[in-house]
Every structure is written in structure tokens, then in C-alpha cells.
Amino acid sequence: MNPQAKLVFILSLLLGTTTTITSNHWIMAWAGLEINTLSILPLISQSHHPRAIEAATKYFLTQAAASALVLFSSMTNAWHTGQWDITQMTHPTSCLILTSAIAMKLGMVPFHFWFPEVLQGSPLTTGLLLSTVMKFPPITLLLMTYPSLNPTLLTCMAIMSAALGGWMGLNQTQIRKILAFSSISHLGWMAIILSFNPKLTLLNFYLYTLMTSAVFLTLNTTKALKLSTLITTWTKTPSLNAMLLLTLLSLAGLPPLTGFLPKWLIIQELTKQDMAPVAT
């Protein structure tokens, strides 16, 4: 790809992200999401491989549908309340649609089918952007609207995402697909604690971004895309592979490592919430 064109797309990506995370008006947030979607599409399909074109098409259709739902929910809310402010979502139906739309944007269960396929068809650097930067605007919208979101729907999707993300990643040999299911699982952890302690959601997201970036950049250096190639790369870069192993264990949430911290704090916070049904 032309370096100037790539620079334009990356700047557009930053512009779209900044627009969404700094806006108070729904139209501005929606415009930022659309700029984001349109700027990442050429980066997904830059190899012109049929798999990459398929990934870009799937990504575009899903994100366009999710953005349309965001716009529809905010318009319905404005129709009933006269408010376009992001924090003033009070209409129940609008809140339900918005919860589904943001879940679709992020790739939470049951709207998760597109994410592993898109990540598998993208280059590693674009995969890194999809897993981290592209998740930031929807996470910000979640944090801004969490008092209005449907708590039952959010909790159900969070539990399903955490369970299915771990379960479906077991039978994979492609590293990008494993990382995609890891992302879905982490989103479940982030969403379940959102209503009770939003700061923990943000902490989880920051640590997830840090660990995922380390994994993607290491894989990009070693040019490993499958587990079979990953097994043989230790001969070329033993120290880098040792660090990758530790990062993957941290991403899995193994106790002495950093990735265990947010999970521990989330479980600790959930035990205080008295969520168990009371026996009559």
C-alpha cells in the first residue's frame, strides 16, 4: 500500500476514535464510529487476497448494522425525551437497542461470529488495531451510558461471552482465531462488572490492550501465524519466545502474572453484590 494512503487511513482512524470518545452528542459519536469503520477497511483488505476482501466485507456489514442501530436507538430516545446527550438515555426500548448495538460493535456473544473471521483474514498489524484501538470507542460509549443500559441483557451477554470465548478457543490451531476468542472472553469480564464498578472495566481493558499488543507485535516479528510454526520459532529467538509464553499465560489470567489482577478484582467485587437469588 502507498505510504501516503496508509498515513491518511491511520490519521482518519485516530480522528474517528477521538471524535467518538470526546463527544457528548449522539450524532458526533455516530460520525466518529463511521469514520473509524471506513478508515480500517482498506487496512484489512490491503493484501487483495480473497480472504482479506471477505474479512473486510464482513466487517463493513456488521459495523454498518451496529452503527445504524446506535443511530436508531439515539433517535428513538430523542423522539421521546428531546435529549441528544449521550448520558441522557432514559427510554427503555432505546436502551435495549443500544445495549445490543454496542455488543455487536465489540463482538460480544451472540453477535461474535464476525470477529474471529475478520481477524483471521487481516494482517497481524491490522489485527492489533482491530483488537485494541477499534474496541476503544464502543468501550467508551459503554462507560458513558452504563447507568442506562439493560443490566439483565448485559449480564447474560457477559456470562455467555466469558464462557464461549474460552470454550471455542480450545479447538483452534490458528493463533489469530485464538486471540479473537480471547478478546471475546475478556469482553465478557469487562461487561459483567460494568454496572457495579466501571473503573474495573477500564483497568481490565487497559491491561488487555497492553498484553494483546505485546502478543501481536511479537508474532509480527517472528512471522508466526499457526501454533505449529510457533513451536519451531524458539530456535531463532529464544528470549522473545520466552517473553511471548509469559505474556500468553498472563493473557490467560494465571495467578502470579499481571493478567490475573483484573480477574481477581472483578470476582472480589462480584461477591459483594449479593447477586444470588433469594430462596423463598
Average pLDDT estimate for 27-48: 93
**pLDDT surpasses 80 at 277:** no
Determine the pLDDT at residue 227: 86
Which residue segment(s) compose the domain that 191 sits in? 3-278
Percentage, residues of the chain above pLDDT 90: 75
269 pLDDT band, cuts 50/70/90, is very high
Q: Is 94 exposed, middle or buried (0-12, 13-18, 19+ CB in 10 A)?
A: buried
pTM attached to this predicted model: 0.92
Domains of the chain: total: 1
Residue entry with cell 493463533: 175
DSSP assignments along 229-279, one per residue: HHHHGGGT-HHHHHHHHHHHHHHHT-TTSTTHHHHHHHHHHHHTS--SPPP
Residue-wise burial string across 152-186, b where 16 or more C-beta atoms lie within 10 A, e elsewhere: eebeebbebbbebbbebbeebeebbbbbbbbbbbb
Alpha carbon dihedral 191, 25, 83, 134, in 10-degree steps, equals -20
Determine the pLDDT at residue 278: 60
Q: Which grid coordinates are listed for 127? A: 489485527
Average pLDDT estimate for 38-62: 93
Radius of gyration of the chain from its Cα atoms, rounded to whole angstroms: 19
